[in-house]
Amino acid sequence: MNEPFSKLDRDELNARLEGLRKTERKSWAGQFTAFFAALGVLFGLSGCREHFRPTCYSQPMTPEQMETADAAAAEQEKAAQEAGNETANETGNGTENTETPETPTNEK
Amino acid sequence: MSFWRKRKAVPSPTAGNRSAAGGILPEIAVFEVTYQCQHRCAFCYCPWENAPDWPKDELPTDEVFAALEILRRCGVRQVTFSGGEPTQRPDLREILLHARSLGLRIGLISNGRDLNAEWLDFLQPLHVLLSISVPGIETFEQTTGVPGVGHVLKLFSMAKERGIKTSANVTVSRTNLPELYENIAYPLIHGADYLLLNRFMPGGRGMQYTDLLLDADELNQMLETAEEVLRRAGKKGHVGTELPYCVIRDPKKFRFLQISSQCSAARYFCALDPGGWLKPCNHSPIRICRFDQIPDQIPAHPYWKRFLEQNYLPEMCAGCRHLSLCRGGCREAAHVFSGSLDSPDPLLCGRFPVDP
Ligand code: SF4
Ligand code: SF4
């Protein structure tokens, strides 16, 4: 049970993390917003992501859902390219993740 | 501007996302199939870990199958198996195969101790999404009571080689907070695809360790650290246990870590315990009814309805300007910690500095 693993200092860890970003920028992990957008459309939700969080110890996505996410992301990317825009994934900045009260009309 | 930011965040006052199949249960269920576990995690919320008289009424295989069938009929489409430690059930493979034969999507939450290449080869064709708990690197043994973080890290690599998607489950207490950067980074560089980040919540065995609960400052440190690691790796994650919105210092800065402040128990997911009793959430101290009574009892059950109707707002939250986003943080943590469903979230219970 006590399997050894390489201990890395913070600089080495950071280099490995940044390596992940370069190699996996377009992988499923970067596609969540597209996935939730697709589901929002699918289920006619009001658009609040907080309402669509499988939560606690349940899983964020199954492989089938990931496939849907990949397809939705590909569509999104295509649409963005057609519009001449860079997608958030391409900039490596990810996408906005928290529903913030940037919609002040919702606040009391 | 993302899709979501153009939309309004208007919570439904009554039922949430009921099953797409029109059932009486939400689409996602967590099935705690066993009381057994080889670890002794300080943060374990399982209610039976704090109740010596809890009946050890674990369902036999045929009743697990029957429960899965009823969940399916009531609208559940995804079942995440947990425990205890689900691999402690000798019939777990049969259970997973049966769930798959019912057309259910499967998740598995494990401490990883008994998982190996053979297990992963079994899970791969079932398209199981695997969540492995890794609550520390240097502090792993201190928190779990057993050594073995190297084995868990290796599992992420082995799963990656097989194309199995994995989530690293990191529960954060004062024990691992000082090494949280490493605690998140190591699973990711070993192949974890996603981060499920949880604050240590009072409940179960955790009630003996309430000195390890995070305060508001520490919680923000947790969020900021996770965001920084995820940003570097270009990975995503979410906070599994809902947070009071007013505790989050700067909600707009989180782009890789998704945070929720709306309780989704009974509305978007539910839980079944090892005895086959339905609960709104895996953190619930209340058993609602046994699985075979679900169709009759759920529609009118008062405790269930409180969750569906979000009828549990703490008095301190009345009139809050964030009510469209927040319903007072985790309701069952409040229930367990302070005795009632409409108590303030433990993060807002006096000993924590807050500025709502
Ligand atoms: S509803 Fe309550 S917990 Fe949520 S932001 Fe308002 S005061 Fe805080
Ligand atoms: S009871 Fe707490 S952990 Fe469970 S869904 Fe509600 S907020 Fe999340």
Q: Outline where chain B has alpha helix (H).
A: 61-73, 92-101, 117-123, 140-144, 149-161, 180-189, 216-233, 294-297, 302-308, 331-338
Total of domains in chain B: 1
> Is position B70 within any domain?
yes
**Chain A residues touching B165 at Cβ < 8 A:** 28, 61, 63, 66
Q: How many residues does chain B have?
A: 356
pLDDT value at A42 more than 50: no
Place of tokens 């998607």: B165
Place of tokens 């649409």: A79
> Is position B14 within any domain?
no
Place of tokens 């006052």: B13
Determine contact, residues B111/B146, Cβ cutoff 8 Å: no
So what's the pLDDT on residue A64? Answer: 52
> Is position B146 within any domain?
yes
> Is position B20 within any domain?
no
Structure tokens given for B160: 């990656």
Instruction: Print the domain residue range for B322.
Output: 28-348
Task: Decide the pairing of beta strands B289-290 and B277-279.
Answer: antiparallel
So what's the pLDDT on residue B258? Answer: 85
CB contact under 8 A, A13 and B185: yes
Q: How many residues does chain A have?
A: 108
CB contact under 8 A, B169 and A20: no
Which SS3 state, helix, strand or coil, does residue B121 take?
helix
pLDDT value at B12 more than 80: no
Q: What is the ipTM of this complex?
A: 0.86
pLDDT value at A59 more than 80: no
Determine contact, residues B240/B193, Cβ cutoff 8 Å: no
CB contact under 8 A, A3 and B4: no
pLDDT value at A69 more than 80: no
Query: Among the atoms of ligand 1, which is closest to the Cα of residue B348?
Result: 3
Average pLDDT taken over every residue of chain A:
52
Mean pLDDT for the stretch of residues B84-104: 97
> Is position B101 within any domain?
yes
Least confident segment among B30-34, B105-109, B115-119, B325-329: B325-329
pLDDT value at A104 more than 70: no
Chain B interface disruption, residue of A7, A8, A10, A17, most B CBs within 10 A: A17
What's the pLDDT band for B1 if we cut at 50, 70, 90?
A: very low
So what's the pLDDT on residue A40? Answer: 36
So what's the pLDDT on residue B14? Answer: 32
CATH of the domain at B118: 3.20.20.70
- Model pLDDT for residues B255-301, shown as the tens digit of each residue: 888 888 888 899 888 999 999 999 999 989 899 999 999 999 999 99
Query: Which residue has a Cα nearest atom 6 of ligand 2?
Result: B263
Domain ranges of chain A: 10-48, 63-102
Predicted TM-score (pTM) of this structure: 0.81
Q: Which of B260, B323, B354 has most ligand 1 atoms within 8 Å of CB, for mutation?
A: B323
